[in-house]
């Protein structure tokens, strides 16, 4: 089976799109007792709710923080400084 140049380009473009859309957001499981500290960190970084991050319901007394990967390092750094217990999903 011989591929033409245009067919090969199209296949590569499709694969690149798949890779880019795979890892747009990251999720963390955080205890409910730390929710106020998490909200303060988000306000301090001026992130938009719904666009840059979102809250969800976790198991038991935890909630899920769904975060855009662009802000992952900065948010984790501030959460650790504020002694928030963070678990990745």
Q: How many Å apart are CA 41 and CA 32, to the nearest integer?
A: 15
Q: How confident is the model at residue 85 (pLDDT cuts 50, 70, 90)?
A: very high
Which residue range is the domain that position 61 belongs to? 23-88
Q: Has residue 7 been placed in a domain?
A: no
Higher pLDDT, 16 or 79: 79
pLDDT on residue 80: 93
Q: Has residue 52 been placed in a domain?
A: yes
- The number of domains in the chain is 1
pLDDT on residue 22: 64
pTM above 0.75, yes or no: no
pLDDT on residue 8: 87
Q: Has residue 6 been placed in a domain?
A: no
pLDDT on residue 69: 87
């Amino acid at each position: 089976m011989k591929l033409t140049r245009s067919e090969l380009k199209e296949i590569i473009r499709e694969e690149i799109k798949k890779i880019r859309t795979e890892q747009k957001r990251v999720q963390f499981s955080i205890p409910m007792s730390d929710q106020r500290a998490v909200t303060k960190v988000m306000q301090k970084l001026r992130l938009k709710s719904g666009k840059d991050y979102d809250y969800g319901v976790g198991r038991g007394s935890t909630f899920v923080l769904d975060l855009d990967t662009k802000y992952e390092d900065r948010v984790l750094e501030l959460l650790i400084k504020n002694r928030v217990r963070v678990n990745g999903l």
